[in-house]
Amino acid sequence: MSVLQDIIAGVRVDLDARRAIIGETEIRAAAAAAPPARDALAALGGGVDAAVRDATLKVISEVKRRSPSKGALADIPEPAVLAARYAAGGAAVISVLTEERRFGGSLADFDAVRATVDTPLLRKDFTVEDYQIFEARAHGADLVLLIVAALDDGELNRMLALTHELGMNALIETHTEEEVARAVAAGARIIGVNVRNLKTLDVDRETFSRLASLIPSEAVIIAESGVRDAADVARYAAFGADAILVGEALVKDNDPEAAIAAFIAAGTAAKPARSAASA
């Protein structure tokens, strides 16, 4: 069993426990009653012609206590306080881990952050059923994660459509050429390239440069994982990243506001100029 399969097995057990408390009808009603979602696509610079898109690199800052690859990363007794610092530092979107077994996250963390910041929020979890999308909306999520490797084409298309029906956006995560092709075929507006292999947990930063070139310029391109410093951010930006998703480097930094500012500056300086011809 791969790491991804093992994580998903645990996610399904925990999902069944939550569903036993709040059923399908209730969670759908809660999603419908939630305030409208914030426009995460616009916050990441999308939704406009690629040739005139804002050239500023965007940062998705993550509230992340631990990871399967590194173990414990940081003690975060008050995720809302960290999220507020992210917002103050200029994060375009804030990601909150809600997977409990491997990442130490929870929907309680998400709720605390949602009550504190007005920044668009990504519910970062392993989405394998529609229930989780309704659940995300019920808790105020503006963006959900859909991992291509965890879904077949029917599931991917259905879940992407559902996020849009609920007024949200989806970050479609890819790891291979084939997964990028599937994301593009599904009509993904926000496509992430995760340079961490979810089967082995190894990081290969060259994966981004190889796969980003396959993504149409109309999509917002997110570089995920492997950010250690501003030099890594600049390299991702030079190969076409519109935004980066970073957790470890920020939760371990005593001054996340300054780190975010440095990442934005480095990435913006390195981004290639867009032209009508490249759009």
Name all domains of the chain by residue range, CATH numbers in brackets.
3-270 (3.20.20.70)
Asked if 109 contacts 124 with a C-beta cutoff of 8 angstroms, the reply is no
Q: Please list, in sequence order, all residues whose beta carbon lies within 8 angstroms of the beta carbon of residue 62, skipping any fewer than 6 positions away.
A: 94, 95, 96, 97, 124, 245, 246, 247, 250, 251
Crossing angle (nearest 10°) for helices 153-165 and 177-186:
40
Q: Please list, in sequence order, all residues whose beta carbon lies within 8 angstroms of the beta carbon of residue 209, skipping any fewer than 6 positions away.
A: 235, 239
- CA-nearest of 237, 234, 260, 265 to 247 is 260
Catalytic residues: 62, 64, 124, 173, 194, 224-225
Rounded to two decimals, the pTM is: 0.94
Token pair listed for 3: 């790491």
Asked if 141 contacts 167 with a C-beta cutoff of 8 angstroms, the reply is no
Tokens 């690859």, located at residue = 69
pLDDT in tens, the chain (279 residues): 688 899 999 999 999 999 999 999 999 999 999 999 999 999 999 977 776 677 899 999 999 888 777 778 888 889 999 999 999 999 999 999 999 999 999 999 999 999 999 999 999 999 999 999 999 999 999 999 999 999 999 999 999 999 999 999 999 999 999 999 999 999 999 999 999 887 788 889 999 999 999 999 899 999 998 899 999 999 999 999 999 999 888 988 789 999 999 999 999 999 987 644 343
10 Å Cβ neighbour count for 54?
14
Q: Please list, in sequence order, all residues whose beta carbon lies within 8 angstroms of the beta carbon of residue 78, skipping any fewer than 6 positions away.
A: 112
To the nearest 5 percent, what fractions of the chain are helix, strand and coil?
A: 45, 15, 40
Asked if 114 contacts 80 with a C-beta cutoff of 8 angstroms, the reply is no
